[in-house]
Amino acid sequence: MHCLVFPGQGVQRKGMGEELFERYPRETAAASELLGFPVARLCLDDPGNRLADTRYAQPAVFLVNALSWMDLEREGRAYDYVAGHSLGEFNALVAAGVLDLMDGLALVRRRAELMAGVTGGAMAAVVGLSPERIEATLRGAGVNLVHIANRNSDQQVTVAGDRPQLALSVKALRTAGARVLPVAVSGPFHTPLMASAGRAFTKVLREYEFRAGHTPVMSSVTGAEFAADQAVTLLSRQISSPVEWVRTVRSLRAAGVDRFDEVNGTTLTAFIARIAAQPTEELI
């Protein structure tokens, strides 16, 4: 079985989508009108380094993901499952027929605005320790405002939280043998510190229709199939809950998926290659 996966914020780069905007002028124009700025110019030229700003990065990644998927669909590609990492899940819902393209973009724009409104936090990628070791190290450091934000692979986890406490956590994690790299975002995404943004997004989500769809989507919040009647709860929780990518990939494999394609880069492909079929003692 075959699954298509969509990445989230972090894959944005100057020049992305260069080969797509001319092929899909109608969708590009509609997106620019909805967003209020020329999205092709944003992606190709990155004026004012705006791709580093969540408010611009998330809609830009969403659109390039979507146009890349449309290219695959035009080629006649078909998939048994779709899934997305963080905002990429909105692309998965569009590809599955749960959401319309422009509704997905409108939701991502509002989501980005709400997430960017929570400041004072930071994120860091932790490489070389299992999630269990990372959680134990955080407990040992005595921090209460730093949390696991993304479980990306067996040996790559993102942590996020209050900026001063995260600095203490980074020292403890490095002492424990981890390689820690800062992530260029301004907020403690996918942690309880984002609860206010999640609540505000709930009100936005209630204004949209989520259909049953034609292709199953594996939720990155629960690691189970996405249920359209639970869309408001799942997508609002996504803002303040960890991205459970390891669980998602294991669920897809358990469902019979043995081939993954990725649009807009290879970030998730690299994570998938580093996720064992089952946890092992050496990883714990």
The catalytic residue positions are: 86, 190
**How far is the C-alpha of 227 from the C-alpha of 184, rounded, in Å?**
32
**How far is the C-alpha of 9 from the C-alpha of 116, rounded, in Å?**
12
8 Å CB contact between 161 and 121: yes
8 Å CB contact between 277 and 253: yes
- Give CA separation, 84 vs 62, 68, 108, in Å: 11, 14, 13
Residue 176 DSSP label: T
97: left (phi over 0), alpha (psi -120 to 50) or beta: left
What 3-state class would DSSP assign to 137?
A: helix
Residues pairing with 157 in the sheet: 126, 151
Any idea of the CA torsion for 123, 127, 130, 136, to the nearest 10 degrees? -50
8 Å CB contact between 223 and 104: no
What 3-state class would DSSP assign to 170?
A: helix
**How far is the C-alpha of 35 from the C-alpha of 52, rounded, in Å?**
17
